[in-house]
């Protein structure tokens, strides 16, 4: 009887936590950017007591490959809770947007090749055309920049894995837009670094045990940005694999650093 009671209590706790989790995410309103026949869904969090006559910072968060789809929900799994914390909502009232990349799409125009052993290798082009998802994202960014309630001196972007790669790519396609950016387990071609190195402060994160996107992809970008005159922050988690975003989003200085930058 005691075991059954304990089981029921644990079940109720789990169900309650799951319900609260869903309710929290409901604070992110549903939205979409539409261009011709294409649609980019996104979830958007407005500041408490939002006043359209005021100007607010704008943040874009790009998810990884595992959250791609069209449910307009999965992209909130990593990082979504961070911006719901009361202390941050009070101290840094901002508009936060989580767009969702289609299942068969990619934020980055990287190319994935396999070596003789079947291991994937990430190849990043210099320039090149944007993917359909990136093209829609660029349109979404431009649309929000036209909003009178957006502070164009405080526009930020960050992302993880495929979204970390997309962050680098977005910077080279819009180097004059963003006041700061962070990339988690991402990468880019080092020759692109000179485009944004001196224009956008960056904080780059990676897990040293990452066997999906090797940490060297971030390391060489840090060196390339420094060589081009930038001063990136770099955090390498010695015991993290690919999910270094858990530690990155738990960094107490991440949001203070991000919002502390202005154009």
The predicted-structure confidence for 186-204, as pLDDT tens digits, reads as follows: 999 999 999 999 999 999 9
The answer to whether 141 and 44 are in contact (CB under 8 A) is no
CA 107 to chain centre: 11
Q: Kindly tell me if the per-residue pLDDT of 95 is higher than 90.
A: yes
Q: By mean pLDDT, which of 107-116, 201-210, 228-237 is the weakest?
A: 107-116
What residues does 203 pair with on adjacent strands? 182, 233
* Nearest-angstrom CA–CA distance, 239 and 207: 7
Q: How far is CA 61 from CA 71, 150, 155, 168, 229, in A?
A: 17, 16, 11, 12, 26
Report the first-to-last Cα separation within the chain, whole angstroms.
63
Q: What's the confidence (pLDDT) of residue 12?
A: 42
As a whole number of angstroms, the distance between CA 203 and CA 224 comes to 14
Strand ranges (E), the chain: 29-35, 38-45, 56-62, 95-99, 111-114, 120-123, 150-160, 180-184, 202-207, 233-237
210-242 pLDDT, tens digit per residue, is 999 999 999 999 999 999 999 999 999 999 999
Contact residues for 67 (Cβ-Cβ < 8 A; gap 6+): 74, 75, 77, 78, 100
Query: What pLDDT does residue 22 have?
Result: 47
Residues 6+ apart with CB under 8 A from 262: 153, 154, 179
* Runs of H (alpha helix) within 59-211: 86-91, 132-145, 162-173, 193-196
Average confidence (pLDDT) over 15-21: 43
What gap in Å lies between CA 130 and CA 109, rounded to an integer? Answer: 6
Which fold does the domain 30-259 belong to in CATH? Rossmann fold (3.40.50)
Instruction: Map out the domains of the chain as residue ranges.
Output: 30-259
Rounded distance between C-alpha atoms, residue 138 and residue 188, angstroms: 18
| pLDDT on residue 121 | 82
Neighbour count for residue 109 (Cβ, 10 Å): 17
pLDDT in tens, 31-51: 999 999 999 999 999 999 999
Percent pLDDT > 70 in the chain is 91
Residue 198 and residue 233 in contact, taking contact as beta carbons nearer than 8 Å = no
Integer Cα distance of 233 and 235 in angstroms? 7
Mean pLDDT value across the chain: 92
> What is the percent of the chain with per-residue pLDDT over 90, rounded to a whole number?
86
């Amino acid at each position: 009887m005691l075991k059954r009671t304990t089981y029921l209590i644990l079940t109720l706790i789990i169900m309650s936590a799951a319900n609260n989790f869903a309710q929290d995410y409901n604070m992110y309103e549903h939205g979409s950017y539409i261009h011709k026949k294409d649609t980019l869904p996104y979830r958007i969090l407005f500041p408490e007591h939002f006043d359209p006559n005021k100007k607010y910072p704008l943040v874009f968060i790009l998810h990884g490959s595992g959250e791609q789809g069209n449910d307009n929900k999965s992209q909130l799994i990593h990082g979504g809770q961070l911006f719901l914390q009361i202390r941050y909502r009070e101290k840094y009232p901002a508009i936060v947007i989580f767009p969702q990349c289609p299942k068969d799409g990619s934020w980055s125009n990287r190319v994935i090749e396999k070596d003789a052993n079947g291991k994937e290798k990430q190849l990043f082009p210099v320039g090149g055309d944007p993917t359909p998802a990136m093209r829609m994202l660029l349109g979404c960014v431009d649309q929000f920049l036209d909003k009178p309630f957006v502070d164009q001196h405080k526009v930020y972007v960050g992302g993880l894995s495929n979204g970390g790669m997309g962050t680098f790519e977005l910077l080279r396609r819009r180097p004059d837009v963003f006041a700061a950016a962070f990339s988690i387990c991402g990468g880019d071609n080092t020759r692109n670094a000179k485009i944004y190195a001196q224009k956008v402060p960056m904080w780059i994160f990676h897990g040293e045990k990452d066997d999906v996107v090797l940490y060297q992809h971030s390391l060489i970008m840090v060196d390339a940005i420094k060589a081009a005159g930038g001063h990136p922050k770099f955090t390498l988690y010695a015991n993290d694999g690919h999910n270094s975003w858990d530690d990155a989003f738990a960094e107490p200085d991440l949001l203070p650093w991000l919002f502390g930058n202005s154009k």
